[in-house]
């Protein structure tokens, strides 16, 4: 797989929470470091996503927001 996006984060699927149309997929990048994405249920099926399976979070954005507490 080759992509133009440079921010490709490899991890393991920690959880998949299905909804009526979309699912939240949580990928654990390292112990205690997680990233979540909301994708269609159809994409979950087509990609054959499952807890424990290796996956990539691919980020391509013109803006990244930063905040502090």
* Neighbouring-strand partners of residue 30: 33
Range of the domain at 28: 7-59
Q: What residues in the chain have per-residue pLDDT under 70?
A: none
How big is the CA angle at 26 (ends 14 and 41), to the nearest 5 degrees? Answer: 105
Number of domains forming the structure of the chain: 1
CA distance 36 to 33: 10
| Per-residue confidence (pLDDT) for residue 64, from 0 to 100 | 76
Give the 3-state secondary structure of residue 3.
coil
CATH number at residue 43: 2.40.50.100
Q: Is residue 1 part of a domain?
A: no
């Amino acid at each position: 797989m080759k992509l133009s996006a440079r921010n490709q984060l490899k991890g393991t699927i920690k959880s998949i929470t299905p909804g009526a149309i979309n699912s939240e997929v949580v990928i654990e990048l390292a112990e205690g470091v997680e990233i979540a994405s909301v994708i269609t249920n159809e994409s979950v099926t087509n990609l054959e996503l499952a807890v424990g399976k290796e996956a990539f979070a691919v980020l391509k954005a013109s803006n990244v927001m930063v905040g502090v507490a």
